[in-house]
Structure 1
């Protein structure tokens, strides 16, 4: 699985104890629509700066990456410096939906309530 460097598009100063959304560029091409940017141990950023994991479209010209300054001093990130690595996501999962009905129309109570409260369906119907 290819791993590509992610570099800062512009120089930016991060105030102390804060985070910014940094415009970055993925250097290279991944043949996928979904990639993850991760911290890079040998990045050219000063100590106290942390790159957050971010899902991105690696084919885009510009990708947003969260960068935090955990120190008590302002930190400058130079244009073109490597701030992270991007690799393709193993697989995209489709959202799953539940097709089971929570409430049965017959007696108005969910299954888990009927077993906890014996005789409750008849009491429930009297309240309506």
Structure 2
């Protein structure tokens, strides 16, 4: 039997690295406070507010590393159907199946009267029940 095979392995390695450095320097006064908001993707990470007279220096450093590894493996085996079908369906096998089918058909023909009798009896019973309930309904 001839066999063809196909195998595929795929690996995806992704790294996302982002680094943020912020340095703020200034002077806060009593009527003008210094405000600092650290926002990342719409989320406030930190909020700093300095009041009074002061010299201000703020240094912030942040890094973000996302690492994702995806591995997919697919394997397919295709066999020749010609030899497989020849082994399963042979002329002798087909002839045997046809003779069995003919015998089963003869059995159904012989016992077919019983099936017909059951169908007739169930129809008569259904009609009897229907007539009974119709009589009860119309009697009121």
TM-score normalised per structure 2: 0.21
TM-score normalised per structure 1: 0.23
The structure having more radius of gyration, on CA atoms, is 2
Structure holding more strand per residue: 2
